[in-house]
Chains A and B, each alone.
Chain A
Amino acid sequence: MDIASLFLGGSGSVMTSFFSLTFLIAFLPVSLLAYAVVPHKAKKFVLLIASLVFFWLVSSVLIVYLFLTILSVFLFGKWLDKIQRTMKEVLSKTEKEKRKEIKQGFVHRQRMVLLLAVILHVGLLLTLKYSGFFADNINSLLSLVNAPFEIPVPKLMMPIGISFFTLQAVSYITDVYHGLIKADGNILRISLFISFFPQIVEGPICRYSQTADQLWNVKQIEYKNLTFGLQRILYGMMKKIVIADRLDPMVKAIFDEPNNYHGGIIFLGAVCYTIQLYMDFSGSMDAVMGIAEIFGVKMPENFERPFFSKSVSEFWKRWHITLGTWFKDYIFYPVTSTKKMKNLTSSARKKLGNHYGPLIAGGVALFCVWFCNGLWHGAGWNYIFFGMYHFVLILGGNMITPLANRFFKAVKLDPECFVYRLFRIIRTALLVVIGELFFRSTGLMSGFGLFGRIVSDFSFSGLNSELLKKLSIDPQDFIIIGITLVAVFIVSLMNEKGISLRDKIAKRGIVTRWCIFYALILFIIIFGAYGFGYIPVDPMYANF
């Protein structure tokens, strides 16, 4: 335990952040070196060992949950595979007429196995994550009816990343069930797929078909991958250390004691929190992608410049993409594809037309998705509200689209003109900020309180140097945040237009390239919010 105390000493663990020194100058270089020097066949094992060591360092004994998950995923895969194989065998021996009936039986058995697996995995997540929340709520119900007893509120230790790897586990088993992938007979490959160290803390949530083979067949480190990867890590580091961490003290000050501030300041806090969350999460994702890139692994992107979205529904296709995709694949379409829902859609289309017809079934499915999405983020009514808020916005947006289109035709306004597009982008961002206000607030009631203050008391009065000092931020901080945001905006705008800045830089001469690298590194070192006077900020999504 002595070695672990080096990493876990003091307050909490530090390795969870890919921008911690421990990770950047100790763990990552050691893993890369080991990876580079071992023979080709052993590389995957280096990755696996590094991943397990990483998980042990960030969560010590809680690694048993990871092992349990891996083992269970492996066994359930095997089980489903066995049923599928016997089914094929039996089917090939029976005549055509009887096949359907026999197949039904096997499908039913498979479904039961899948159900059991999902209940086990999701159940574990629910127990670890929500038992406190449920117990609390039951207790307040009990106290409402003056019950003479209370149920104990359990305090369970939740391993980091369980919200993420549980989804990967469920996705694997479901894909095996559907026959999309073959059950993996190699438990080590599954282990690597579940536990690959860059992704285990905050995702992205990958499907087996996306990464398992890539990880198992990793290649020698290539020069281009190395430089591109490092570049991406640096870019993410800039987002996280310069912008997100610099905003943290102010956001904390405002949300810790919102009653001290006018609505305008709270609104500013919500805007800053949204920026912080985006920079923190997408910056960490840049690091994940960058690290994976060094190993020659391409991970699915989690962000696609969400703040260029013109509608809330588009926003969610560009923000935390892998989570959205997971919900779409494993909740939305399965719900709408049930027989009842399909019948409902068909009949509703005939009565309500093309647009509103599918909205009923879609709405039900959308509700399920957003309820789960809210709950996934945390045990709290404000998170559930956050989900419902977006559900209403997306469904509402869909309902008024035809009306809006008709309106534009009537007034002869081109919905694609720049001003209107800009209006939609700003409106979407505003709606998102309001959502994040509830997301960040300490509870649903306080969320409404804050929102009320913004509406009733939208004033920036008292926004002077004294207040800034109280918020532990100064005008210079805002300048540096502004400059960095502009830089991020320009890069995003270029990406949005399909220009790859990285390829452009790679084509330049060595002097230009090195100058860019030097400038970026020095910028992060000098303007980063770390060291004296700063409290290190854990990656924000690691707690979800």
Chain B
Amino acid sequence: MKVFLKHSLKAVVFMAGLLVFLIAASAILLPRNNREEDWKHDVQAHGILAEPENTIDVLFIGDSEVYSSINPLRIWQSYGYTSYCLSASKQRLWYSLEFFNMAMRTQQPKIVVLETNSLFKAFPAEDSMMHSMDQVLPVFKFHDRWKCLKFEDIFRSPQYTHIENRKGYRLYKESDPADIEGYMEESENVEYISFLNKIYINIIASTCKQQDIKLVFLSTPSTMNWNMRKHNRMEKLSEELGTDYLDLNLAHDGFSIDWEKDTRDKGDHMNYFGAEKVTAYVGSYLNSTGILVHHEEKAICKAWNKALKTFTDDVDKWLSTLAASE
């Protein structure tokens, strides 16, 4: 017994020592900025770190469907609401939660819109464990930064300077028609959401409840990713959680996708034209909630108007060459 206690004590001390090392390594390896050279993964979403505190009203969270179909600048243009797309390619819920928590450290959004495609994408417990661990000890996430570590950074605290002009939206100009055979065919079946995914949805939902944030589920149009079974599940889930649910795969007043023109990859994602339609609809929905206020603050207006102008200039130029070529 005595030997056992001695060895257990040793083990505890060893682990404590290891923890100290890991904390130190985490402190050293944590990125000091949000530029691409500081952390090359998903720069667009990390751009929110550089947004001034408490200036973003709406967060759009989800996988590539989000950054392809929602353009915060257009919402700004129409309503004066500030929003941001926290989305990355193949984003799973663990990553969505990570982005959500990251944004919540500096922002106080009033509405969180969760895109529904990723809710059905299962991921192994391995990923969940790994990424819970790297939230506690960032060394597990940022370990690869030994490659770009600068000595002078070690004693500096983080300062985020990289602002994303498009607020997480990505512009896609190409189009590739979709085959809509069987798309949104009636079905009584209800798609299954994995156990682990439910946990993550519940965490996000309960945080929103606590912080008095309105949670909304949004299904953006996609012939490849969406069907009635998933729609049925989302109807049920939003009822359970008492949230609004918008499914833009179904017909709505004044909203219709032209599957010949509005998708960039055979119905998987929206392109610019599809995004314009989705954004317009989502914008009017946000407006109808009556929660948000039109921003009048000088600093915010200046920054967002400038970003908008850069964007519209680019797009208008492209649209005019497009018109000329046709």
Q: Which residues of A contact B (CB under 8 A)?
A: 2, 5-10, 13-14, 20-22, 25-26, 223, 474, 476, 514, 517-518, 521-522, 525-528, 530-533, 536
Q: Is the CB of B195 within 8 A of A8?
A: no
The verdict on A525 contacting B22 (CB below 8 Å), with A476-B147, A514-B17 known, is yes
The winner among B139, B144, B146, B195 for most chain A CB atoms within 10 A is B144
CB-based closest 9 A-B pairs = A9-B122, A6-B125, A14-B126, A10-B123, A10-B124, A9-B124, A526-B143, A22-B126, A21-B129
Known: A10-B122, A525-B139. A518 touches B195 (CB 8 A): no
Q: Which of B130, B146, B196 contacts A526 (CB 8 A)?
A: B146
Q: List 16 A-B contacts (CB under 8 A).
A: A2-B195, A5-B195, A5-B196, A6-B195, A9-B125, A10-B127, A21-B129, A21-B133, A223-B3, A476-B146, A476-B147, A514-B14, A525-B143, A526-B146, A533-B41, A533-B144
CB-CB under 8 A from B141, the residues of chain A are 531-532
* A-B contacts besides A6-B195, A536-B126, 6 pairs, CB < 8 Å: A14-B126, A223-B7, A522-B25, A525-B139, A526-B139, A532-B144
A10 to B197, CA, bound (A): 11
Instruction: Check: B319 CB closer than 8 A to any chain A CB.
Output: no
Bound form: Cα–Cα A237–B139 in Å: 18
B29 cross-chain contacts in A, Cβ below 8 A: 526
Contact between chains at A21 and B18 (CB < 8 Å): no
A530: chain B residues within 8 A (beta carbon): 130
B140 part of interface (Cβ distance < 8 Å): yes
Q: Quick check: is B135 within 8 A (CB to CB) of the other chain? A: no
Query: Is B78 an interface position by the 8 A CB rule?
Result: no
Alpha-carbon distance A522/B17, docked complex (angstroms)? 12
B89 part of interface (Cβ distance < 8 Å): no
A38 to chain B, nearest CB (A): 16
Q: In the complex, which of the residues B3, B18, B123 contacts A521, with contact meaning CB atoms closer than 8 Å?
A: B18
Bound CA–CA A14/B123 (angstroms): 11
Q: Could you say which of B123, B134, B147 contacts A474, with CB atoms under 8 Å apart?
A: B147
In angstroms, Cα B139 to Cα A528, docked, is: 11
Q: Are A8 and B21 in touch, CB under 8 angstroms?
A: no
A26 CA to B129 CA in the complex, in Å? 10
Task: Give bound CA distance, A536 to B125, whole Å.
Answer: 14
List of B residues within 8 angstroms of A525 by Cβ: 22, 25, 139-140, 143
**How close is B14's CB to chain A, nearest CB, in angstroms?**
6
When the two chains form their complex, are residues B195 and A531 in contact, meaning their CB atoms are under 8 A apart? no
Residue B194 interfacial (CB < 8 Å): yes
A452 to B138, CA, bound (A): 47
Compute how far the CA of A103 lies from the CA of B41 in the bound complex, rounded to whole angstroms.
74
Partner of B130, one of A7, A21, A476: A21
Inter-subunit contact A7/B124 (CB<8 Å): yes
A25 pairs with B129, CB closer than 8 A: yes
Cβ–Cβ contact B140 & A22, under 8 A: no
Q: For residues 137 through 193 of chain B, which have their beta carbon under 8 Å from a beta carbon of chain A?
A: 139-141, 143-144, 146-147
Contact with A along B6-22 (1 / 0, CB 8 A): 01000000100110011
Interface centre among B14, B40, B126, B144 (most CB of A within 10 A): B126
Alpha-carbon distance between A384 and B240 when the two chains are bound, in angstroms:
59
Q: A-contacting residues of B (Cβ < 8 Å)? A: 3, 7, 14, 17-18, 21-22, 25, 29, 40-41, 92, 122-127, 129-130, 133-134, 139-141, 143-144, 146-147, 194-196
Question: CB-nearest residue of chain A relative to B28?
Answer: A526
Given A26-B129, A518-B17, A521-B18 in contact, is the A5-B144 Cβ separation under 8 Å? no
Expressed in whole angstroms, the minimum distance between the Cβ of A339 and any Cβ of chain B is 56
Residues of B within 8 A of A22 (CB): 124-126, 129
Given known pairs A514-B14, A518-B21, the reply for A6 and B196 (CB within 8 Å) is yes
Q: Which residue of A lies closest to B130 (CB)?
A: A21
Find out whether the CB atom of B126 lies under 8 angstroms from the CB atom of A20. Answer: yes
Closest Cβ of chain B to A373, distance in Å, is 33
| Residues on the A chain within 8 Å of B124, using CB | 6-10, 13-14, 22
* Chain B residue nearest to A15 in the complex (CB): B126
Residues of B within 8 A of A10 (CB): 92, 122-124, 127
Nearest opposing residue in chain A for B142, CB measure: A532
Cβ–Cβ < 8 Å partners of B14 in chain A: 514, 517
Question: How far in angstroms is the closest Cβ of chain A from B169?
Answer: 23
A475: min CB distance to chain B, Å = 10
Given A525-B25, A525-B139, A532-B41: A518 and B144 interface contact (C-beta under 8 Å): no
A517 to B29, CA, bound (A): 21
Q: Which residues of B are found within 8 Å of A5, using beta-carbon distances? A: 122, 194-196
Q: Which chain B residues lie closer than 8 Å to A531 at the CB level?
A: 130, 134, 140-141, 143-144
Q: In the complex, A2→B194 CA distance in Å? A: 8
State A26–B25 Cα separation when bound (angstroms): 24
- Residues of chain B within 8 A of A521, CB atoms compared: 18
A533 to B7, CA, bound (A): 39
The residue in B92, B134, B143 that gathers the most chain A C-beta atoms within 10 A of its C-beta is B143
Question: What residues of B have a CB within 8 angstroms of the CB of A9 in the complex?
Answer: 122-125, 194, 196
Which among A2, A22, A25 has the greatest number of chain B C-beta atoms within 10 A?
A22
What is the CA–CA distance of A20 and B125 in the complex, to the nearest angstrom?
A: 11
**Chain A: which residue is nearest B122 at the CB level?**
A9
Give Cα A518–Cα B130 distance, bound, in whole angstroms: 20
Chain A residues near B7 (CB-CB < 8 A): 223
A528 vs B146: C-alpha distance in the bound complex, in angstroms? Answer: 11
Q: Give the chain B neighbours of A21 by CB distance below 8 A.
A: 126, 129-130, 133
In the assembled complex, the Cα of A532 lies from the Cα of B142 at a distance in Å of: 8
Least CB distance, A28 to chain B, in whole angstroms: 13
Specify the chain B residue showing the minimal Cβ separation from A6.
B125
Of chain A, the residue at the smallest CB distance from B143 is A526
The distance in angstroms between the C-alpha atoms of A72 and B298, with both chains bound, is 81
A29 to chain B, nearest CB (A): 12
CA separation between A526 and B17, bound complex, in Å?
17
CA distance A25 to B21 in the complex (A): 19
**Whole-angstrom CA separation of A465 from B3 in the bound complex:** 56
A53 to chain B, nearest CB (A): 15
How far is B21's CA from A531's CA once the two chains are assembled, in angstroms? 19
Chain A contacts of B122 at CB under 8 A? Answer: 5, 9-10
State in angstroms the CA–CA spacing of A21 and B125 once bound together.
Answer: 9
CB-defined contacts of B139 to chain A, threshold 8 Å: 525-526
Chain B residue numbers with a CB within 8 Å of A517 are 14
